[in-house]
Chains A and B, each alone.
Chain A
């Protein structure tokens, strides 16, 4: 159990277009999901925390109008990169927390590689 999927696994788009990435918890309900960004050979940087039914909480320096997050149900959160530019090219990873306790484990998706031309 505790499987998290992401779709698509990779995407190539032209500069100026918007890209939507989906994160789904397949066999559990996730009240909280997290979105991370990872540049090559670097660590994961938390972008935002997404709670079902409420607005996402963005980390300092992350533009909320650039990276739109919607957590519409207990099993789905989406990240939309609006007006993407080459510097947005990165590996985006989501995670989902099962349960309400802060100590509950996060389960990570396989990631989405975004390349903006």
Chain B
């Protein structure tokens, strides 16, 4: 199965700064989703952006989608220590299954 690639693999920033994570994928998609995973826990759904959308906001989160470049970005503004987690993008490719990217481990330093 094809998986997305995310960069950076790890990101460490100071509290209050903005964090940007990128995701690239290989095939046509129906939608793209971003999830957060705290260490040793399950996934929390953050936001879904459809293939015909270019940008979406949810609170401090901003997601963009560029289908021509097959890429998406997740921006977290005014980061907090509680944002420390791994972030994964996932695409739905025709069939019902999700295909996850490799993830970005985000660390927010107080």
Query: Taking the complex as formed, is A115 at the interface, i.e. its CB lies under 8 A from any CB of chain B?
Result: no
In the assembled complex, the Cα of A106 lies from the Cα of B42 at a distance in Å of 12
- Which B residues are in CB contact (< 8 Å) with A71? none
B1 engages A102 (CB within 8 Å) = no
A46 engages B48 (CB within 8 Å) = no
Instruction: Contacts A102-B92, A103-B92, A107-B45 given; indicate if A43 touches B40 (C-beta within 8 A).
Output: no
CB within 8 Å: A-B pair count: 56
**B35 closest partner in A (C-beta):** A108
A43 engages B95 (CB within 8 Å) = no
A108 engages B43 (CB within 8 Å) = yes
**A34 closest partner in B (C-beta):** B97
Query: Taking the complex as formed, is A59 at the interface, i.e. its CB lies under 8 A from any CB of chain B?
Result: yes
**B95 closest partner in A (C-beta):** A102
In the assembled complex, the Cα of A113 lies from the Cα of B30 at a distance in Å of 32
Instruction: Contacts A93-B42, A102-B92, A103-B31 given; indicate if A43 touches B97 (C-beta within 8 A).
Output: no
A103 engages B30 (CB within 8 Å) = yes
B96 engages A32 (CB within 8 Å) = yes
Query: Taking the complex as formed, is B77 at the interface, i.e. its CB lies under 8 A from any CB of chain A?
Result: no
Instruction: Contacts A105-B45, A108-B43, A111-B42 given; indicate if A43 touches B96 (C-beta within 8 A).
Output: no
B30 engages A43 (CB within 8 Å) = no
- Return the CB mask of B6-34 against A: 1 if under 8 Å, else 0: 00000000000000000000000011000
**A36 closest partner in B (C-beta):** B100
**B103 closest partner in A (C-beta):** A43
- Which A residues are in CB contact (< 8 Å) with B101? 43
**A60 closest partner in B (C-beta):** B1
Could you give 15 example pairs across A and B, Cβ below 8 Å? A34-B97, A34-B98, A42-B102, A43-B88, A43-B102, A44-B88, A44-B100, A45-B100, A46-B1, A93-B43, A95-B43, A102-B95, A102-B96, A110-B41, A111-B40
List 9 additional A-B contacts (Cβ < 8 Å) besides A46-B98, A111-B41, A111-B42: A6-B42, A42-B102, A44-B43, A44-B88, A49-B97, A97-B96, A102-B95, A103-B30, A108-B44
